[in-house]
Amino acid sequence: MEWNYEGFIDSNGIPVFETPSEEVKGPFGDYIDIGVIDHWQNEADGLKNDQDALNEFYRQFPRTEEHAFRDETKNSIFNLVKIYEQIDINEESASYSRGNFQWAGGIKDTTVRFLPNQQGRFNISWTPQLNIQNKQIIKNGLKYPGNEHMGAFGCDSYDISGTVDGKGSKGALHGLTKFSMEDAPANSFFLEYIARPATAEMFFEDVLMALVFYGMPILCENNKPRLLYYLKRRGYRGYSMNRPDKVWNKLSTAEKEVGGMPNSSEDIKQAHAAAIEMYINDHVGLKLDGEYGDMAFNATLNDWAGFDITRRTKYDATISSGLAIMACNRHLYSPKSNVQRDKINLTIAKYKNKGYNSKLIKQ
């Protein structure tokens, strides 16, 4: 952008990038007293309170490839300033590994390891220490995740392997940590998976291996239940979280069988969007402590930026990441029972102490 920005070319046809320390004339004899980069930054800073205008400015006058390919976003429900601050920081400092998970020795239901591969489907920014990888608890013969206190996954699954047009929505999986006493970053997205393998079973196996490797549970939509039944059939029902907004005896038969939560009711949609909004405000972009967030995955950030709650099925990464946030903050959605208790009468009895016998003073 800065190479051909009108008004910032000197009389020799050379762009003025930095603010000049000496007088510089343009081709028409006018003085150029500010560099194009400083001018661009001033314009961007002036639009920080208007999220849609700032996004449009980035699109029209891009300084990076990320700016050039941003979608037009009108009336975004999320804070675009913080999202784009994080995207810009990621271009300078974000780091994550790409690869795939694999069962040790190719034997299923053993231990899982991560293999770096530039063509892999997983992006990960953190892995647990060796002593807590593949951590599992056996209760009554059933398998449960051993690191549930450290974080959780959210998933937007799909049931059909192929579609007529060959497109179809992608499967998405996100892992998020929560505060714990373990050696792990708190409130940090550490895994991003947005892909559509050749078959749905390959996707299910990818999800299962990630759950086993990190030893964390998953909150998944039960509108598309094949993944949940796949986990149950493989003996991993204990990894599938029940919906956090209902107690056990209020769950449906299917919900008790495989877990998961519906993502179709208006209340759930609003709670899901509010969870992402809360996370963005607290942990994305420039934070209150002056540090920047560590959300390293630009694909998810861009999905948040373009999210339209009225057409939410298009945004696989947003659905998945929102479920991960809800899973890590399940206490916020726990039903609160209205228990009415009788007031305790704390009136202190008073007596007259005249004569040999005390007499109760009636009130």
Q: Are residues 251 and 127 in the same domain?
A: yes
pLDDT of residue 51: 66
Q: Are residues 130 and 174 in the same domain?
A: yes
Residues 75-99, mean pLDDT to the nearest whole number:
86
Domain membership flag for residue 144: yes
Domain membership flag for residue 349: no
Identify the domain boundary among 14, 46, 76: 76
Would you say residue 49 has pLDDT above 50? yes
What are the distances in angstroms from CA 46 to CA 49, 130, 207?
A: 8, 48, 44
* 300 — pLDDT class (breaks 50, 70, 90): very high
Helix axis angle, 266-283 to 80-93, nearest 10°: 50
* 164 — pLDDT class (breaks 50, 70, 90): very low
Identify the domain boundary among 45, 76, 107: 76
Q: Are residues 111 and 227 in the same domain?
A: yes
Domain membership flag for residue 29: yes
Q: Are residues 119 and 197 in the same domain?
A: yes
* 279 — pLDDT class (breaks 50, 70, 90): very high
Q: What is the DSSP string of 140-199?
A: TTEEEETTTTTEEEEEE----S--TTS--PPEEEEEEE---SSSS-TT-EEEEEEE--SS
CB atoms closer than 10 angstroms to residue 144: 16
Range 61-86 burial, b when 16+ CB lie within 10 A, else e: bebeebbeebeebeebebbbbbbbbb
Identify the domain boundary among 41, 76, 111: 76
Total number of domains in the chain: 2
Give the dihedral sign, CA 255/261/262/266: positive
Residue-averaged pLDDT of the chain: 87
Q: Are residues 315 and 174 in the same domain?
A: yes
Domain membership flag for residue 57: yes
pLDDT of residue 234: 94
Would you say residue 204 has pLDDT above 60? yes
Position 124, amino acid:
I
Out of 83-87, 123-127, 264-268, which region has the weakest mean confidence (pLDDT)?
264-268
Q: Are residues 29 and 126 in the same domain?
A: no
Q: Are residues 25 and 105 in the same domain?
A: no
For 313-328, what is each residue's pLDDT tens digit? 889 999 999 999 999 9
Domain membership flag for residue 217: yes
Q: Which domain holds residue 49?
A: 1-76
CATH assignment of the domain containing 162: 3.30.420.240
Would you say residue 353 has pLDDT above 60? yes
* 165 — pLDDT class (breaks 50, 70, 90): very low
Q: Are residues 54 and 186 in the same domain?
A: no
Q: Are residues 64 and 163 in the same domain?
A: no
Token duo for residue 31: 């003085």
Domain membership flag for residue 289: yes
Q: Are residues 145 and 280 in the same domain?
A: yes
Q: Are residues 162 and 231 in the same domain?
A: yes
Domain membership flag for residue 51: yes
Domain membership flag for residue 129: yes
For 120-129, what is each residue's pLDDT tens digit? 999 999 999 9
For 6-36, what is each residue's pLDDT tens digit? 777 877 777 777 888 878 877 777 778 787 8
Q: Are residues 286 and 222 in the same domain?
A: yes
